[in-house]
């Protein structure tokens, strides 16, 4: 299976099975059989969970497209149950996640943020405390990195529709710690409107 979109759908289904069974070996075997560019994206991600497929001699020469990089990040986030109300993680695992993302050729924290945005966009308007803590921990870890490793263009993030959900607004609020110059009055008002009346408004407003 070499079509990236079809593989992503299949891989996410396999990750859901692996979470229930507690065994990621089958997914690791699938990734081992991928073409070099996809294998370079997904192998480090599976390594987070202790079952990294071996890379082959020609793997160091392949470029990895954005869709594969973001797809690999989605898979890692699913492994930590970010698609559910209660993610399962530790600071150590978050560190391994960011390390893995940065080890993918051409990848950066922007790919991780796009994956998080996609998954938050698929949710409703409720933000759980556990998800909020996970978001804050991701940003905290990225901020602790060398400046070159945390470089990210977030202009796409502030170009989102003015109406957004509470999880989306909370993510933007935290992510802009990496690009404070983008935190304009317009963005502030957009985030405030989405968070107002919810549990996290006081954190945002300083109340």
Name residues whose C-beta falls within 8 Å of residue 71's C-beta, 6 or more positions apart in sequence: 4, 7, 8, 11, 41, 42, 115
In which residue are the tokens 């991600």 written?
A: 45
Distance CA 98, CA 138 (A): 8
pLDDT of res. 19:
87
Question: What is the distance between the alpha carbons of residues 47 and 40, in angstroms, rounded to a whole number?
Answer: 11
Phi, psi of 19 (to 5 degrees): -65, -35
Both tokens assigned to 120: 């938050």
| Number of independent structural domains in the chain | 1
Q: Which of 185, 204, 113, 94 is nearest to 151 (CA)?
A: 113
Domain hosting 135: range is 4-205
- Least confidently predicted of 14-23, 90-99, 179-188, 192-201: 14-23
Cβ-based neighbours of 64, under 8 Å, separated by 6 or more: 37, 38, 40, 41, 104, 105, 106, 107
Q: What pLDDT does residue 207 have? A: 58
Rounded to whole angstroms, the Cα distance separating 93 from 45 reads 11
| This prediction's pTM | 0.91
Residues 141-200 have pLDDT tens digits of: 999 999 888 899 999 998 887 788 999 999 999 999 999 999 999 999 999 999 999 999
């Amino acid at each position: 299976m070499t079509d990236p979109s079809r593989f992503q759908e299949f891989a996410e289904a396999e990750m859901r099975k692996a979470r229930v069974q507690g065994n990621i070996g089958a997914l690791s075997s699938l990734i081992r059989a991928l073409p070099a560019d996809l294998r370079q994206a997904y192998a480090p991600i599976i390594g987070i969970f202790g079952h990294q497929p071996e890379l082959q001699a020609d793997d160091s020469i392949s470029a990895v497209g954005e869709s594969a990089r973001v797809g690999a990040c989605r898979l890692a986030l699913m492994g930590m149950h970010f698609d559910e109300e209660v993610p399962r993680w530790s600071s150590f695992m978050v560190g391994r996640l960011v390390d893995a993302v940065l080890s993918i050729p051409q990848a950066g924290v922007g790919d991780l943020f796009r994956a998080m945005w996609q998954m938050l966009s698929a949710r409703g308007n409720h933000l759980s405390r556990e998800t909020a803590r996970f978001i804050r921990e991701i940003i905290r870890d990225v901020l602790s990195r060398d400046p070159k490793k945390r470089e990210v263009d977030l202009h796409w993030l502030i170009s989102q529709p003015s109406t957004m959900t509470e999880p989306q607004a909370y993510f933007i609020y935290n992510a802009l710690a990496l690009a404070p110059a983008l935190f304009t009055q317009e963005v502030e008002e957009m985030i405030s409107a989405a968070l107002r009346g919810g549990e996290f408004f006081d954190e945002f407003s300083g109340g």
